[in-house]
């Protein structure tokens, strides 16, 4: 037994006897005033015994002395040193001592990489922020198509009126792509804003002039038989364009087989006569040849009864197109205006002053789209976004079949169709228009208030069924973004102060625009 332990036991009167009995042969230890207690009288106070000294645990976190940590941040609170011996510290005997540093929940997000991983890469145009991770969401249909992330560059924007669709189109698919080389935007501007289209100010700011279509003299003229259209898509599609114009003129009702054949005959005769005169044919030339099928050598073997039926069908088509030219004089009755060009990075077809009802707006859109395809085929080298905020006029009715027939051609020419639709449930699921819309591999879905619209979005575009409860609760500026087969991402669209001033469309209602 160590002397220290023996002295400690001898100091205790209760254990002193036991120690003596346990060591009978041991020499008596001479007690000193410090080690052995003296005889204490019964009325005297017992001597105080010092508690045994505890060995310090250097691996335990230091405890601040009372008052030393008050009013200080946790990482600056004073504590005992944890490295009293330098030699042991050098050998790693003690736990490392580092000064604390402040942290936040934002910094701690990196600990859960599966949740905070950015939903998109940085190769694209910035859209906004991911509401889950606060990461930037970026997308460009042409870049994503080149990387194999999507199979079609077409874009569909869905949502209620006032949810933020126009702001997204103007920034993500018009303004921001213009900062990239080799990009161009073409817009069908249908919303009236102070007597002109809402994009007119933006187009003029970029140094271009909007193409204004109006019933008043001096507006832009576009020719259905423009050679640019013929060179771009061929005579077959140009004849199809004439058919679309005739069907739109009779409220979208299709032509029967005799009327279609009579229209093709009038087209052939008009093209032949214009070629002989060495001039560009115009729509009145077709009207002049309608009802003259007997002069077409292709029908030389028809019976008089068949020729008479073709004659009557031709007259019916002539009356339809004649009414179109009479009602919308100055828009379709001459050569294309010389200022119609795609030389600028931003081009706007302003149809805001044309009647809402009637064939004028969809006919202008159909002709302009075909003219655009012809121009792109002749002038290659740029990627073009074609924006249609009132997309039904472009993809609905007789235009749908024309758009569907040119989808592959548009993809090869670097054209992305960007369409905005308010109520998707109003489009029949088996219609050609729905076929065109479902080809879009990029979908931005804003707030949907109607249950039938929500069901169609989830079913037709592959959204997660659980998001049906999220769609009606989305706030203004928030939407669900879906790219190809990637999962949906809730995005808040972010605009700069400059963009906010250019994209506000509610001045008349809010005196300065919605913020």
User: Is the pLDDT score of 114 beyond 90?
Assistant: no
The more confident residue out of 170 and 70 is: 170
Identify which has the larger pLDDT, 121 or 262.
Answer: 262
Overall average pLDDT of the 457-472 stretch: 92
What confidence score (pLDDT) does residue 244 get?
Answer: 87
pLDDT for 107 equals 67
Q: In what order do the strands lie in the sheet with 489-493?
A: 136-139, 125-130, 489-493, 478-483, 442-445, 155-158, 415-421, 383-388, 183-189, 346-350, 211-212
Judged by DSSP in three states, 232 sits in helix
Per-residue pLDDT band for 229 (boundaries 50, 70, 90) equals confident
The larger pLDDT score, comparing residue 222 to residue 379, is at 222
**Least confident segment among 100-109, 131-140, 236-245, 433-442:** 100-109
Question: What pLDDT is recorded for position 41?
Answer: 44
Question: Which pLDDT value is given to residue 411?
Answer: 79
Query: If you average pLDDT over residues 325-331, what whole number do you get?
Result: 85
End-to-end CA distance of the chain: 87
Ranges 6-15, 74-83, 130-139, most confident = 130-139
pLDDT category at 111 given cuts 50, 70, 90 is low
Cβ-proximal residues to 194 (8 Å cutoff; 6+ apart), any chain: none
387: closest CA among 175, 93, 149?
175
> pLDDT higher for 390 or 70?
390
Q: What percent of the chain is helix, strand and coil (3-state, nearest 5)?
A: 40, 10, 45
Rounding to the nearest 10 degrees, give the CA dihedral for residues 88, 91, 94, 96.
Answer: 130
Q: pLDDT of 169-183, one tens digit each?
A: 999 999 999 888 889
Question: Is pLDDT above 80 for 231?
Answer: no
Residue 75 confidence (pLDDT): 52
pLDDT of residue 514: 43
pLDDT of residue 382: 86
CB–CB of 120/138 below 8 Å?
Answer: yes
In the three-class reduction of DSSP (H, G, I as helix; E, B as strand; rest coil), residue 43 is classed as: coil
Residue of higher predicted confidence among 81 and 49:
49
pLDDT computed for residue 169 by the predictor: 93
Cα 362 from Cα 398, distance rounded (Å): 9
Is pLDDT at 18 greater than 70 in this prediction? no
Distances (CA, A) of 24 to 18, 20, 21, 27, 502: 10, 6, 6, 8, 106
Give me the pLDDT at residue 410, please: 76
Least confident of 103-117, 320-334, 342-356: 103-117
Q: Tell me the pTM.
A: 0.71
Residue with tokens 């051609």: 409
Whether 66 shows a pLDDT value over 60: the answer reads no
Those residues whose C-beta lies under 8 Å from the C-beta of residue 150, and which sit 6 or more positions away, are: 141, 144, 441, 442, 483, 484
The predicted model gives 53-72 an average pLDDT of: 53
Q: What is the CATH number of domain 125-208+343-509?
A: 3.40.50.300
Band of the pLDDT at 457, cuts 50, 70, 90?
very high
Instruction: Kindly tell me if the per-residue pLDDT of 328 is higher than 70.
Output: yes
Nearest to 220 by CA among 368, 379, 395, 344: 368
What is the pLDDT at residue 13?
Answer: 47
| Closest CA relative to residue 212, chosen from 357, 327, 330, 326 | 330
- Across 68-76, average pLDDT: 56
SS3 260: helix
- Averaged over 470-499, what is the pLDDT? 93
pLDDT of residue 450: 93
CA distance 193 to 75: 59
pLDDT given at position 238:
82
Tokens in use for 488? Answer: 């949906």
User: Quick one: average pLDDT of 411-436?
Assistant: 85
Q: Give yes or no for residue 273 having a pLDDT over 60.
A: yes
> What confidence category does residue 20 fall into, taking pLDDT thresholds of 50, 70 and 90?
very low
Query: Which range, 21-25, 52-56, 387-391, 459-463, has the best average confidence (pLDDT)?
Result: 459-463
Q: Is residue 158 scored above 90 in pLDDT? A: yes
Mean pLDDT of 264-281: 91
% the chain with pLDDT above 90:
30
Continuous H helices in 221-291: 227-249, 257-277, 283-289
User: Are the CB atoms for 210 and 200 separated by under 8 Å?
Assistant: yes
- Sequence spans of domains, the chain: 125-208+343-509, 229-328
Specify the range with the lowest mean pLDDT, choosing from 20-34, 132-146, 341-355, 379-393.
20-34
pLDDT average, residue stretch 443-454: 94
Q: Which position has the token pair 């369409």?
A: 419
Q: Is the pLDDT of residue 17 over 60?
A: no
Q: In this structure, are residues 454 and 473 in contact, taking their beta carbons and an 8 Å threshold?
A: no
Closest CA to 81 of 113, 117, 56, 115: 56
CA–CA dist 283, 287 (Å, integer): 7
């Amino acid at each position: 037994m160590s002397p220290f332990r023996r002295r400690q036991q001898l100091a205790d009167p209760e254990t002193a006897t036991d120690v003596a009995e346990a060591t009978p042969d041991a020499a008596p230890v001479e007690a000193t005033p410090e080690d052995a207690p003296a005889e204490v009288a019964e009325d005297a106070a017992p001597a105080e015994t010092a508690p045994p000294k505890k060995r310090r645990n250097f691996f335990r976190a230091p405890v601040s002395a009372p008052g030393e940590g008050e009013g200080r941040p946790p990482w600056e609170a004073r504590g005992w040193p944890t490295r009293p011996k330098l030699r042991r510290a050098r050998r790693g005997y003690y736990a490392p001592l580092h000064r604390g540093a402040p942290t936040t929940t934002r910094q701690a997000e990196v600990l859960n990489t599966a949740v905070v991983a950015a939903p998109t890469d940085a190769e694209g145009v910035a859209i906004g922020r991911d509401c889950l991770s606060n990461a930037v969401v970026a997308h460009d249909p042409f870049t994503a198509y080149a990387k194999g992330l999507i199979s079609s560059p077409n874009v569909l924007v869905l949502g209620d009126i006032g949810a933020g669709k126009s702001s997204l189109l103007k920034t993500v698919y018009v303004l921001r792509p213009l900062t990239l080389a080799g990009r161009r935007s073409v817009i069908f501007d249908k919303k009236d804003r102070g007597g002109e289209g809402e994009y007119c100010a933006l187009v003029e700011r970029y140094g271009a002039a909007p193409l204004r279509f109006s019933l008043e003299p001096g507006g832009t003229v576009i020719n259905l038989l423009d050679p640019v259209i013929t060179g771009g898509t061929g005579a077959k599609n140009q004849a199809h364009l004439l058919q679309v114009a005739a069907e739109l003129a009779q409220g979208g009702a299709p032509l029967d087989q005799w009327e279609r054949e009579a229209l093709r005959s009038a087209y052939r005769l008009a093209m032949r006569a214009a070629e002989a005169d060495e001039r560009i044919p115009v729509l009145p030339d077709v009207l002049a040849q309608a009802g003259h099928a007997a002069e077409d050598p292709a029908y030389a073997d028809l019976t008089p009864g068949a020729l008479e039926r073709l004659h009557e069908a031709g007259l019916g088509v002539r009356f339809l197109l004649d009414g179109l030219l009479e009602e919308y004089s100055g828009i379709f009755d001459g050569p294309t205006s010389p200022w119609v060009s795609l030389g600028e990075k931003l081009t706007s077809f302003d149809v805001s002053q044309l009647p809402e009802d009637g064939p004028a707006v969809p006919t202008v859109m159909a002709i302009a789209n075909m003219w655009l395809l012809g121009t792109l085929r002749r002038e290659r080298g740029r990627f073009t976004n074609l924006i249609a905020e009132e997309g039904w006029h472009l993809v609905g009715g007789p235009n749908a079949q024309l758009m569907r027939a040119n989808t592959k051609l548009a993809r090869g020419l670097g054209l992305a169709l960007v369409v905005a639709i308010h109520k998707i449930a109003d489009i029949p699921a088996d219609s050609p228009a729905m076929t065109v819309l479902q080809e879009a591999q990029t979908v931005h879905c804003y707030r949907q208030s109607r249950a039938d619209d929500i069901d169609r979005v989830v079913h037709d575009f592959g959204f997660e069924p659980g998001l049906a409860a999220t769609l009606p609760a989305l706030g203004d500026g928030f939407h669900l973004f879906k790219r190809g087969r990637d999962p949906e991402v809730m995005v808040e669209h972010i605009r700069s102060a400059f963009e906010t001033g250019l994209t506000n469309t509610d001045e008349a209602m809010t005196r300065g625009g919605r913020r």
